[in-house]
Amino acid sequence: MELLNVLKRLRQRPQGKIILLVFDGLGGLPREAGGPTELGAARRPNLDAVAREGVCGLLDNVLPGLTPGSGPAHLSLFGYDPLVFDIGRGLLGALGIGFPIRPGDLAVRVNFCTVDPKTGFVTDRRAGRIPTETNEKLVAMLNAGVKIPGCEVFVRTEKEHRACLVLRADGLYDGITETDPQTTGKEPPRPVAATDARSEKAAAIVAEFARQAAAILKDSHPANNLLLRGYARFEKIPLLTETYDMRFAAIATYPMYRGVANLVGMDILPDAGDTMESEFACLERHYADYDFFFLHIKKTDSYGEDGNWDAKVHVIEEADKLIPRARALDPAVLCVTADHSTPCVLKMHSWHPVPVAIASKYERPDGVQEFTERACASGGLGRLRGIHLMPMLVANALGLEKYGA
Amino acid sequence: MELLNVLKRLRQRPQGKIILLVFDGLGGLPREAGGPTELGAARRPNLDAVAREGVCGLLDNVLPGLTPGSGPAHLSLFGYDPLVFDIGRGLLGALGIGFPIRPGDLAVRVNFCTVDPKTGFVTDRRAGRIPTETNEKLVAMLNAGVKIPGCEVFVRTEKEHRACLVLRADGLYDGITETDPQTTGKEPPRPVAATDARSEKAAAIVAEFARQAAAILKDSHPANNLLLRGYARFEKIPLLTETYDMRFAAIATYPMYRGVANLVGMDILPDAGDTMESEFACLERHYADYDFFFLHIKKTDSYGEDGNWDAKVHVIEEADKLIPRARALDPAVLCVTADHSTPCVLKMHSWHPVPVAIASKYERPDGVQEFTERACASGGLGRLRGIHLMPMLVANALGLEKYGA
């Protein structure tokens, strides 16, 4: 991509460290007319201090009106245009379970399903949401049983009826039709076909996998077959370490975020633990070893998805209390933002832009006094695409030369 | 380029004149927490009046986080995407000394250097920063001595150890390796090689130039050789006069800015003098003859580069006093902006967006009361790419038809 190539030309050793705190799904909406958002309702003295000392704005991590999935949203925050780097669902599934994906791998989403033994028609596309333990047994049977010459086959459990398939061989492309009929009681799993010439090899392998899997599963009612969709070849992506002259570390409790960070060349710190507190402790332990830290806070999103207003407000307040630990490290640049909005009133990701604050010795304060969506909307950064955040952070650490003379 | 082609389709005779005042490096940063920027600290009643009567905003002349060089920044203000029209360093050097460059010319940056007569290794990449007078003598020797059949060779002095080479022949492309080893005491000037097939002709000519130059300079210690880099073929760029139905004039005291303006089809007014006052007098003298005036004020940048806060504030104040002379001409559109920021605290160009104000009978005033970075951040224009300024200025002079029916 053009911008990444330009940045690569301008890279130079930065003069300080950068901490990027991403509150997943932070953006919200008022629950009553005239009321505050979740963020607006929270006591957040430390977030407000970052906003007051820095410069604020709003970010669109895809484009205005487009609701970002977690993968695309993080790619955007890391400076990759998610409309260019279109990471397919199969791949996000593999990243989500921490599968060590390699360039050229073909990742596929798997749903265990129920088919009528007589007609072969799909009767339940989720096999009654089998328990994850059942899923694990079926996955073990598939890994033991499927044999495809010249192709490595990896099946991994996600959760309930969902699993992930990774095929590894030369020349696997993802122009392949999905087998999920998207209806029940009317047709069997659809046949696999290539939609372009270069995907014919992969289509043949996927068809063979589907055939062997059906045979292996046929007596395992209710999950007596599977459906395949979301094919995604993993194309190598330019690494952050190639673009910038910096060492990048990711601190995240969920595999998905570790996966995306790893994809773009961050080192995944293994001792992040599973609480916000343990993540900040991890940041402190490793602070000397990297130039850039991505610290991901998950819970804000989870409570938004649940529609649990009080819990979302509470977790913002708890995270706010940890911010002084990041500030005490005295980074050149401290940035607080989100990947997307997850308003409690919607109980899902939304298209609303996310607030951002960048505190740095070299930013221009803009008079914004608090870290809320509304206050950030009148900030000095204005409203920007999320892909522009990363160059601004690196610029503030003096890690980019000027463009042209 | 897409946008320029669209604009060309919409061109019509404007109904008034446009004056664009560019304060080089105007944007700044506070020198103490909570304090004003240089612009904020200046007394600027006339700039404030433009902001108050007009509409304000912030411009990114490359992209957020990217620090524009002077050439790309001006291209942006003139409506050319600097990421598309990537004017190489050799070309900016040639423009900087006012060399009458032509499409197809290959421009190259030259450094006189010192090589060890025995080993041939480069021992000083700047030849002890020889005086400009010495440079001029060496350049005269090269212009007299180098003979390359089928190729015109122009060598021109820049300053101290820096010179500019322009090669003129058919089919010269710039995929050529640099001869500067970037180290001293370890290797001789590097050989010249083409990095793509179409640049082979130019590479052979450059290699021959380097060979003859080394022979001519060999007894001129300390500048007994030269290094070549920043190769740039000058590709013809669509002219402003082709895009808009207007006559363009440039008023600038520095060759570099006259060069960029000339590149895009402006007439360079020869009687701009060398002070801000003489530039405004030049504007008055020629006001009847053109539709569009670009007036460039250099000193704001120079004092920013020096880190001289008081001088930068003072020059802003002096320029402010001249603005009534532009207003007295009663242009349809008066725009005040900058090419990039040069904060005194950084002593270099920076990535911060620049303030802009457009006063026009047909603009929507936005309530902004003063021309400062912070006030402009909440202006009605929002934050825009610099390439969008030019169409807005021409639109305000009613020089663009509507797009589509």
Closest residue in A to B377 (Cα–Cα): A380
Task: For residues A172 and A225, state if they share a domain.
Answer: yes
For residue A122, being part of any structural domain is answered with: yes
For residue A405, being part of any structural domain is answered with: no
Nearest to B134 by CA among B126, B146, B124: B126
For residue A132, being part of any structural domain is answered with: yes
Quick: pLDDT tens for B86-137.
888 888 888 888 898 899 999 999 999 999 999 999 999 999 999 999 999 9
Chain A residues with CB under 8 Å of B63 CB are 3, 388, 391
Residue B28: strand, helix, or coil:
coil
Task: For residues B211 and B115, state if they share a domain.
Answer: yes
Residue where one domain finishes, among candidates A233, A259, A286: A233
Quick: pLDDT tens for A220-257.
989 999 999 999 999 889 999 999 999 999 999 988 89
Task: For residues B244 and B386, state if they share a domain.
Answer: yes
Task: For residues B104 and B194, state if they share a domain.
Answer: yes
* Sign of torsion over alpha carbons A158, A163, A164, A167: positive
For residue B166, being part of any structural domain is answered with: yes
Any A CB within 8 A of B71 CB: yes
For residue A18, being part of any structural domain is answered with: yes
DSSP H or E stretch at residue B322: helix B309-328
Chain B residues with CB under 8 Å of A381 CB are 64, 383
Contact B36, B316 (CB under 8 A): no
* CATH number of the domain enclosing A265: 3.40.720.10
Which domain range does residue A387 map to?
2-85+237-396
Phi, psi of A315 (to 5 degrees): -70, -30
Alpha-carbon distance of B124 to B128, in angstroms, equals 7
Nearest to B59 by CA among B301, B359, B337: B337
Any A CB within 8 A of B40 CB: no
Q: Provide the whole-model pTM.
A: 0.89
CA atoms within a 13 Å half-sphere pointing along the CA-CB vector of B342: 26
Task: For residues A160 and A244, state if they share a domain.
Answer: no
Beta carbons within 10 angstroms of residue B311's beta carbon: 17
Cα–Cα distances (Å) from A393 to A293, A345, B245, in that order, read: 11, 32, 41
Cα–Cα distances (Å) from B362 to A252, B7, B328, B333, in that order, read: 52, 19, 18, 9
Residues 6+ apart with CB under 8 A from A186: A121
- What distance, in Å, lies between the first and last C-alpha atoms of chain A? 23
- Nearest 5°: the CA angle B129, B133, B138 is 80
Task: For residues B207 and B245, state if they share a domain.
Answer: no
Chain B residues with CB under 8 Å of A392 CB are 64-65, 351
For residue A402, being part of any structural domain is answered with: no
Task: For residues B176 and B291, state if they share a domain.
Answer: no
Task: For residues A149 and A36, state if they share a domain.
Answer: no
Task: For residues B253 and B269, state if they share a domain.
Answer: yes
For residue B401, being part of any structural domain is answered with: no
3-state secondary structure chain A: CHHHHHHHHHECCCCCCEEEEEECCEECCCCCCCCCCHHHHCCCHHHHHHHHHCEEEEEECCCCCCCCCHHHHHHHHCCCCCCCCCCCHHHHHHHHCCCCCCCCCEEEEEEEEEECCCCCCEEECCCCCCCHHHHHHHHHHHHHHCCCCCCEEEEEEEECCEEEEEEECCCCCCCECCCCCCCCCCCCCCCCCECCHHHHHHHHHHHHHHHHHHHHHCCCCCCCEEEEEEEEECCCCCCHHHHCCCCEEEECCCHHHHHHHHHCCCEECCCCCCCHHHHHHHHHHHHHHCCEEEEEECHHHHHHHHCCHHHHHHHHHHHHHHHHHHHCCCCCEEEEECCCECCCCCCCCECCCEEEEEEECCCCCCCCCCCCHHHHCCCCCEEEEHHHHHHHHHHHCCCECCECC
Alpha-carbon distance of A355 to A363, in angstroms, equals 17
Alpha-carbon distance of B179 to B5, in angstroms, equals 39
Chain B residues with CB under 8 Å of A49 CB are none
* pLDDT tens digits in sequence order for chain A, 405 residues long: 589 999 999 999 999 999 999 999 999 999 999 999 999 999 999 999 999 999 999 999 999 999 999 999 999 999 999 999 988 888 888 888 889 889 999 999 999 999 999 999 999 999 999 999 999 999 999 999 999 999 999 999 998 999 999 999 999 999 999 999 999 999 999 999 999 999 999 999 999 999 999 999 999 989 999 999 999 999 889 999 999 999 999 999 988 898 899 889 999 999 999 999 999 999 999 999 999 999 999 999 989 999 999 999 999 999 999 999 999 999 999 999 999 999 999 999 999 999 999 999 999 999 999 999 999 999 999 999 999 999 999 999 999 999 987
* Sign of torsion over alpha carbons B67, B71, B73, B75: negative
Task: For residues B290 and B322, state if they share a domain.
Answer: yes
Residue B310: strand, helix, or coil:
helix
Any B CB within 8 A of A145 CB: no
Task: For residues B46 and B98, state if they share a domain.
Answer: no
Domain count within chain A = 2
What is the total residue count of chain B? 405
Residue B202: strand, helix, or coil:
helix
CB contact under 8 A, B64 and A366: no
User: Which of B66, B70, B86 is the closest to A400 by Cβ?
Assistant: B66
**Tokens 């160059």, located at residue:** A391
Q: What pLDDT sits at residue B1? A: 57
Residue B134: strand, helix, or coil:
helix
CA atoms within a 13 Å half-sphere pointing along the CA-CB vector of B203: 16
- Nearest 5°: the CA angle A246, A287, A293 is 50
Closest residue in B to A55 (Cα–Cα): B374
Residue B132 gets the label, from left (phi > 0), alpha (psi -120 to 50) or beta, of alpha
Task: For residues A228 and A261, state if they share a domain.
Answer: no
Any B CB within 8 A of A393 CB: yes
Residue where one domain finishes, among candidates A208, A233, A258: A233
Any A CB within 8 A of B207 CB: no
Q: What pLDDT sits at residue B170? A: 96
Any B CB within 8 A of A306 CB: no
Any A CB within 8 A of B22 CB: no
User: Which of B69, B83, B373 is the closest to A364 by Cβ?
Assistant: B373
Residue B173: strand, helix, or coil:
coil
Residue segments in chain B with a per-residue pLDDT below the cut of 70: 1
Torsion of the alpha carbons at A118, A121, A126 and A132, rounded to the nearest 10: 40
Q: What pLDDT sits at residue B150? A: 96
Nearest to B18 by CA among B363, B378, B360, B369: B360
Cα–Cα distances (Å) from A137 to A131, A148, A210, B260, in that order, read: 10, 20, 18, 70
What is the total residue count of chain A? 405
For residue A270, being part of any structural domain is answered with: yes
Cα–Cα distances (Å) from B339 to A15, A318, B310, in that order, read: 25, 44, 21
Any A CB within 8 A of B348 CB: yes
Beta carbons within 10 angstroms of residue B110's beta carbon: 28
Beta carbons within 10 angstroms of residue B132's beta carbon: 13
Residue where one domain finishes, among candidates A210, A233, A256: A233
Å from B89 to nearest chain A CA? 6
Nearest to A189 by CA among A123, A127, A143: A123
Contact A34, A306 (CB under 8 A): no
CB contact under 8 A, A402 and B345: no
Beta carbons within 10 angstroms of residue B295's beta carbon: 23
CB contact under 8 A, B34 and A365: yes
Q: What pLDDT sits at residue B245? A: 97
DSSP H or E stretch at residue B359: strand B354-360
DSSP H or E stretch at residue B89: helix B89-96
